[in-house]
Amino acid sequence: MFTVENLTIETRKGRKLIENLSFALNDGDKMAIIGEEGNGKSTLLKALINPKLVPYCVVSGKINNQNCKIGYLEQKLSSKWDNQTIVDYYLKDEPDDECDYDKYNDIFKFEKELKNMGFEFSHISENTLIKYLSGGEKVKLQLAKISSNNYDVIFLDEPTNDLDIDTLERLEDFILSTKKPIIYISHDETLLENTANRILHIEQLIKKTKPKFTLQKCTYSEYVDARNRQITHQTQIAYSERRERDKKEEILRQIKQKVENALVAAKKDPSSGRIIAKKMANVKAQERRMENEELTEIPDVEEAIKMIVDPTITLPSQKIILDVKIPKLVAGDKELAENVELFIRGPQKIAIVGKNGCGKTTLIKKLVPILRKTSGLKVGYFSQNYGEVLDYNKTALDEMQLSSKDFNAGTVLGSLKFSREEMLHKVKDLSEGQKAKLALMKLIIEKNNVLVLDEPTRNLSPLSNPVIRGVLKKYNGAIITASHDRKFIKEICDETYVLNEKGLKKSNFLENTNEDNEKK
C-alpha cells in the first residue's frame, strides 16, 4: 500500500502548495489530481515519488513508498534520453544506468504495446534515437514501458499530451483494466470522466497565499456536479443570512437611535430615565447577541479564470478564408501526405485530427503564412511550442502589455489567476499551463478574426477548459485547430477533417469515436 501522512510542500520562497495532506492508495484506485495551472500538481506528483525531484521545495511529512515499484510517466521525457535508442530505454530505469539484459527476454511485451498504439516499428529496427521521435511517440514509448512492466503503483503526469484519439482510448482501457493503483494528472476531461474514481483537488486561495485540498472518493463528473451544487447552495444561504442580519441591524439601529433621543429628553425626569436606561441595556444585549451569531460561511474556493471575447470580431459569411491545394505535404525529406485540399468560407470552425506523426502541425504551420497573405484577415497563431509565440525572456506582464494598449496587463493576468509574483516571472519560468493561458489570451485581446490553434488545450487544467470552450463558442471569427481533445472538438467545431497519407478528408470521425465508446 502507498500511504501519505501529513504531507506539506512549501517552495523555498515561502509559498505553501500543500499542507497536511494524508491519504492511502489501494488496488483499483484511480486518483486524479486536478487544479488550476501553477497550483503545484506536478510538484506534488514528483514529491510523492521522491522529494529529491523537487529541490525547489521543502517537503515534510511521511511518504511510505519504500517497498513500492513505481512506474512514472513524466510530463516531458527527460532530454537525458535523447541519444539513446528505444531498446535502451526499455532496458534501463534511468538514462545513466547500464542496460539490464535480463529484461530482454520480455521485450516482446514492450514491442507489442508499441505496435498496439500505432508506433512506427521501423524506429526499433533502425535504432532510431529518442531525440528524433515526435512528442506523441515519446508519450507512447513511456506508456508502453509502464504497461509492459509489473509496477506496484503508477504515476502519470499529463499522459494525454500529444496522443492521438486512438491512443487516448487505449490509455483509457489501460487505466480502467489495470488493478494497480494509479495517481495521475490530466487536462483531458473525457479521460477524467471515463476513468477517475477518486479526486484530489488542489486550490490556492487568497491570491495564492493559502493552500487548500479536497479529497473525495467519487467520479470526476460527480465531484464537479456536487461541488458546483454545494458552492451555489452555500453561497445562497450565506448571502440570505447576511441580508436578513442587515435588516435586523437596521431595525435595531433605529430603535437604539430612538432610545438615545429619549435618554437625552429624560435627563430632567430620573424615574423615566431609569426605564429608558433599561431599554438601552436591552438594545445593547441584542447587539452583542447579533455580533456573536454564527453565519454560514461564504464558500472559500478558488475562482475560475475569466476570458471575454470581443463581440465585434466578425467575418462575412461568404468571404473565402482559405482555398488551398498542396500536392505534397513534407517535413524535411519525409513525405507525409499528398493531395491535401482545404476550403473554408466565413466564420467556420474546423478541426484537423489524425494519428501521431501524420503531419497535423506541419500542415497548420503551412497554412498560417497563406492565411496572412489574404486581405481582410487578421490571423492569430497558437503553437504547441509556446516559445514560437511567446518571448521567454520577457516577464508575463511585459508580454501581455505588448499585445494591446487597450487593456491593463495586470488586470488581464489577474483574470487568468496569475499572482502578482507570477506576473513578474519570466515566461520561461511559468508552468506549461500558464504559458498556454498567456498565449491564448494574447490571441483574444489582439482581436484576430482567424485563429489557427495547434493543440490549444494540451496543458490547461480541466477546470480552465470549460472557460476556454465557452469563449471560443462565442467567437465570431474562423478557427482552424489541430486537436486530440474530444470534448473541445465536439463543442467548438462545425466540421472535422482527418489527415493521413492520402490527404485531408472531411469525416464524422469524432461521431464514430463516440459511438464506439458507447458500445464499450
Chain center to CA of 140: 20
Q: Residue written as cell 506536478?
A: 42
Q: From CA 519, how far away is CA 514, in angstroms rounded?
A: 9
283: Cα within 13 Å, side-chain hemisphere = 18
Report the relative pairing of strands 210-216 and 198-205 from DSSP bridges.
antiparallel
Chain center to CA of 271: 73
Which residues have CB under 8 Å from 470's CB, separation 6+? none
Divide the 520 residues of the chain into consecutive groups of 10 and give the mean pLDDT of each group: 94 92 95 90 94 94 88 90 94 91 87 87 87 87 91 92 84 92 92 96 84 94 87 79 86 86 75 78 86 72 71 91 94 89 95 89 94 94 92 92 79 86 90 89 90 90 85 93 91 93 82 50
- What pLDDT was estimated at residue 227? 84
What single DSSP character describes residue 428? G
Which residues have CB under 8 Å from 197's CB, separation 6+? 28, 29, 30, 31, 217, 218, 219
Q: From CA 504, how far away is CA 340, in angstroms rounded?
A: 5
| Residue 413 cell numbers, joined | 493576468
The residues facing 153 across adjacent strands are 70
> Hey, how many other C-beta atoms are within 10 angstroms of the C-beta on 282?
12
What does the CA dihedral 295, 296, 300, 305 come to, rounded to 10 degrees? -110
- What pLDDT was estimated at residue 520? 44
Residues in the chain: 520
Which residues have CB under 8 Å from 520's CB, separation 6+? none
The residues facing 328 across adjacent strands are 338
The DSSP code sequence of 224-265 is: HHHHHHHHHHHHHHHHHHHHHHHHHHHHHHHHHHHHHHHHHH
| Residue 406 cell numbers, joined | 487597450
